[in-house]
Structure 1
Amino acid sequence: MAAKKPTPLFPTYIELTEHESADHPQLTKFLEQSPAWVMQHWSWAKDYLLYIGRNKSQHTYTRFRNDIEKFLLWVFLVDKQPVDDLRKADILRYIDFCVAPPVNWISTQLHDRFSIENGYFASNPKWTPFRQTPPKYDKERVLDPKKYKPSLQTLESTFVALNSFFRHLIDEEICFGNPIPLAKRDCKHLIKDSQVKTISRLTEQQWQYLLDTAVELAENDPLLERNLFIVATMKTLFLRLSELSERQDWTPMMSHFWTDEDNNWWFKAYGKGKKIRDITVPSGYLPFLKRYREWRGLSSLPSKGEQTILVEKIRGRGGLTSRQISRLIQQVFDAAFDKMKSEHGLDAAQKLNEATTHYLRHTGASMEIERDRPLKDLSEDLGHSSSATTDTVYVQVERRKRASTGKNRKVE
């Protein structure tokens, strides 16, 4: 028997903070027509997600919302037993479900959960908890929901979110045990990977093509000076996409560039965990900053207290969102891929076709490791809590050494 068609449970963080039952009539109807404990569970999850959004970030809220929503829909529509009754075996059954969900729980397109209709939030019947997407380098691929298979990273993320949720329920004295760690230990779908690690980064040649392409695009179309500035800044200052975009509680400004008493330049970034860090700004980056400011009709370098938005909209007010910045970066990736492919072939350029915005941060960090910059200094620029986290990048350097020493082995 096919599983019942799922319905969205939680809107965006802002909408959830202002949620009234009458605002979401279809969601309210679903909850009221379910057993009483379903509404109770939804309220538990709502309180948890609001806590995540308030104390972490809206990005973290969205990531955890997706996993908690899937889990509760399985609890409500498939398993039909309260969360506080679940044990290790039940969680393992849920993971089995995530590995092979019903086809009517999977879509191949991104659909909003709710839409405004007559002043109310209507549940979108096309929305599904699971989404199958083609690889970035093959967007035209025809997808078959029957062949959906989550990555190990997706399953790991599921365990992280569920573990956090159960810990919250324990803190609130709702549950008296956490089955997630034991279930993760015994999960047959998780494979411990002790093999060679790779970092999602560009080679020096690929990075040079990307930068040269950004410069060429800007020289041909002044509007693309923004693209050049964003690409150079993301890579050189090791920024995450969210650290360059406008958020509810932070807008990157020109005044976030500042100098100390020795005339060293720094950039103040608002990173993960709502932590502000100061990043060293190399001298080689300043010409890109000056070029960008000149295009905007500003003085050569930022002044103290300058209230100018760092990357602003061309039309409208305020700074760019993460999605808008990502599109600008993608323009450069696409152009660089076409150029490198025509000059060096598909194999040499393929990484540019696969690359995402986060490749820029990894590329910058990896190149710093390779020039023997102290790990502690790089760790602080990256905003890592410890040098041990940064050391995961160092694995790539060791892998190259290992590969070079292994090339000369003989068969005879």
Structure 2
Amino acid sequence: MATPKSIPLFPAYAELKDFDWRDYEQLDQFFNDQPNWCREHWDWARDYLIFLGRNKSEHTYIRFRSDIEKFLLWSFLIAEKPAVDFRKNDVLDYAEFFFKPPQTWIGLTNVDKFVPTAGMYEFNKSWKPFRYIAEGSDIDKKKYRPSQQSMLAMFSAISGFYTHLMENEIALGNPAVLAKKDCKRLVKDAQVKETKRLDQDQWDLLLTTVEQMADEDALFERNLFLIAAMKTMFLRISELAERDDWIPVMSHFWQDDEKNWWLKIYGKGKKIRDISVPDSFLPYLERYRLWRGLSALPGRQEKQPIVEKIRGAGGMSGRQLARLVHQVLDKTYETMKSQSGEKAAQIFKDVSPHWLRHTGASMEIERGRALKDVSEDLGHSSMATTDTVYVQTSAKKRAESGKSREV
């Protein structure tokens, strides 16, 4: 029996908030052709995803949307069974499907889910739920396998969805929690954890590259400010993005009575924190503000977005900010490739914007700054989190003590 054709279920966050079935006739027709419980599940998932986008971040919305979309498609088209009726074995069956999806559900490029056509949003025929990142010219989809990180993210998203259903008295239990314990595709990891970060030479090249870009074309002043800010103050990209309930504005930079500069940030879990702003960052802040036609340093009443759009009013979304970062990463990759070859440059293809946060925090700890102070700037609720993610002293000691072993 042929595998049913997959379709996208959820548009971008902005479109989902104001969703109107009249704008998505193809999707509406799909649910008209399915049992009533399918549309009901879609409604529950939409409510959960909007909650994530509103209360967490657009990045969290995108990450969870991908996994919940795959899960519901499997429920609708493969299992043909309501997810609220699933037991542990049903979720384990899905985990096997997730680990080895049909090739017709695997794409090679990242494309939009829906395309605007004649005032409507239609399915993008090129879209697939899974994506295989081929190495070079090798595009054999049979080689697709999700990473352990992807498997864990999948269980996290599904478990969160079931928790939402339980809290709203829709589901009676969370089979994803039970399935995760017995999933044979998950490997218990006792490896030395390696923080995803740049080393000093790589960071120096990245910063030099974006400085040169800004010197040659003033439009890249935003890129320079953004990258310097994210690394120096350990920022998540969502923390500089405009959201429904928070707009980062220039007055969030403030100075205390001792002339110390701080940046007020609205972070994960709806927590507001103040991050210390080092003196070394102030020249980048001044340079950026002067380019925007502002005074060198912010005042307490300024309402201009910290990172504003070139066209239109207001701040930028997380996706737009990420695009600015990747412009610089791509340029740095080309520079490194010409200097040291493709193998050395590959790391700049692997880097995500979040690496800048990791890079800054790791370097601060290495130079001897108190773990407690770094932890508070990061916005961690516990120093144990900072210690687990950023401090690898025990691993280094273990490696050092192991060097002298005899064969």
TM-score, normalised to structure 2, is: 0.92
Instruction: Give yes or no for contact 1:365–1:393 (8 Å, CA) kept in 2.
Output: no
Deviation at 1:26, TM superposition (A): 1.7
2:327 aligns with 331
Instruction: Give yes or no for contact 1:246–1:252 (8 Å, CA) kept in 2.
Output: yes
Worse overlay, 328-337 or 92-101: 328-337
1:207 aligns with 203
Task: State how far apart, in whole Å, the 1-side matches of 2:47 and 2:209 are.
Answer: 47
Query: Aligned with 2:8: secondary structure?
Result: coil
**What root-mean-square deviation, in Å, do the aligned CA atoms of Structure 1 and Structure 2 show?**
2.3
Task: State how far apart, in whole Å, the 2-side matches of 1:302 and 1:335 are.
Answer: 31
1:292 aligns with 288
Task: State how far apart, in whole Å, the 2-side matches of 1:130 and 1:20 are.
Answer: 26
1:151 paired to 2:141: no
1:68 aligns with 68
Instruction: Give yes or no for contact 2:57–2:238 (8 Å, CA) kept in 1.
Output: no
Query: Aligned with 2:97: secondary structure?
Result: helix
Worse overlay, 355-364 or 217-226: 217-226
Select 2:350's aligned residue among 351, 354, 362: 354
1:247 aligns with 243
1:311 paired to 2:307: yes
- The one-letter amino acid of 1:72's match is L
Q: Return closer, same or farther for 1:108/1:246 CA change in 2, 3 Å cut-off.
A: same
Deviation at 1:296, TM superposition (A): 2.8
Deviation at 1:43, TM superposition (A): 2.8
Deviation at 1:192, TM superposition (A): 1.0
Instruction: Give yes or no for contact 1:269–1:279 (8 Å, CA) kept in 2.
Output: yes
Q: Return closer, same or farther for 1:211/1:143 CA change in 2, 3 Å cut-off.
A: same
Instruction: Give yes or no for contact 1:57–1:273 (8 Å, CA) kept in 2.
Output: no
Query: Aligned with 1:116: secondary structure?
Result: strand
Task: State how far apart, in whole Å, the 1-side matches of 2:345 and 2:104 are.
Answer: 37
Matched residues, percent identical? 55
Worse overlay, 52-61 or 165-174: 52-61
Q: Return closer, same or farther for 1:2/1:267 CA change in 2, 3 Å cut-off.
A: same
1:110 aligns with 110
- The one-letter amino acid of 1:29's match is Q
Q: For residues 282-335 of structure 1, what are the alpha-carbon distances to aligned partners after superposition, in whole Å with 9 as ceiling and x for unaligned? A: 111112212222333322211111222222233333333333333332333344
Instruction: Give yes or no for contact 1:56–1:274 (8 Å, CA) kept in 2.
Output: yes
Q: Return closer, same or farther for 1:61/1:176 CA change in 2, 3 Å cut-off.
A: same
Query: Aligned with 2:152: secondary structure?
Result: helix
For this pair of structures, how many residues does the alignment match?
Answer: 407
2:27 aligns with 27
Worse overlay, 44-53 or 282-291: 44-53
The aligned runs of 1:11-410 (5 Å cut-off) are: 11-134=11-134, 141-344=137-340, 348-410=344-406
Deviation at 1:129, TM superposition (A): 1.6
Query: Aligned with 1:269: secondary structure?
Result: strand
Q: Return closer, same or farther for 1:56/1:227 CA change in 2, 3 Å cut-off.
A: closer
Task: State how far apart, in whole Å, the 2-side matches of 1:54 and 1:247 are.
Answer: 8
Instruction: Give yes or no for contact 1:255–1:303 (8 Å, CA) kept in 2.
Output: yes
Task: State how far apart, in whole Å, the 2-side matches of 1:68 and 1:259 are.
Answer: 44
- The one-letter amino acid of 1:289's match is L
Q: Return closer, same or farther for 1:3/1:315 CA change in 2, 3 Å cut-off.
A: same
2:2 aligns with 2
Task: State how far apart, in whole Å, the 2-side matches of 1:28 and 1:357 are.
Answer: 36
Instruction: Give yes or no for contact 1:202–1:352 (8 Å, CA) kept in 2.
Output: no
Instruction: Give yes or no for contact 2:362–2:391 (8 Å, CA) kept in 1.
Output: no
Task: State how far apart, in whole Å, the 2-side matches of 1:117 and 1:62 are.
Answer: 23
Task: State how far apart, in whole Å, the 2-side matches of 1:18 and 1:215 are.
Answer: 40
Worse overlay, 91-100 or 58-67: 58-67
Deviation at 1:349, TM superposition (A): 4.5
Worse overlay, 146-155 or 314-323: 314-323
TM-score, normalised to structure 1, is: 0.91
Instruction: Give yes or no for contact 1:255–1:304 (8 Å, CA) kept in 2.
Output: yes
Worse overlay, 180-189 or 318-327: 318-327
- The one-letter amino acid of 2:72's match is L
Query: Aligned with 2:392: secondary structure?
Result: helix
Task: State how far apart, in whole Å, the 2-side matches of 1:344 and 1:142 are.
Answer: 25
Instruction: Give yes or no for contact 1:293–1:299 (8 Å, CA) kept in 2.
Output: yes
Task: State how far apart, in whole Å, the 2-side matches of 1:333 and 1:50 are.
Answer: 31
Q: Return closer, same or farther for 1:301/1:102 CA change in 2, 3 Å cut-off.
A: same
Task: State how far apart, in whole Å, the 2-side matches of 1:365 and 1:124 are.
Answer: 40
Instruction: Give yes or no for contact 1:231–1:360 (8 Å, CA) kept in 2.
Output: yes
Task: State how far apart, in whole Å, the 1-side matches of 2:131 and 2:184 are.
Answer: 22
Query: Aligned with 2:115: secondary structure?
Result: strand
- The one-letter amino acid of 2:143's match is K
Deviation at 1:232, TM superposition (A): 1.1
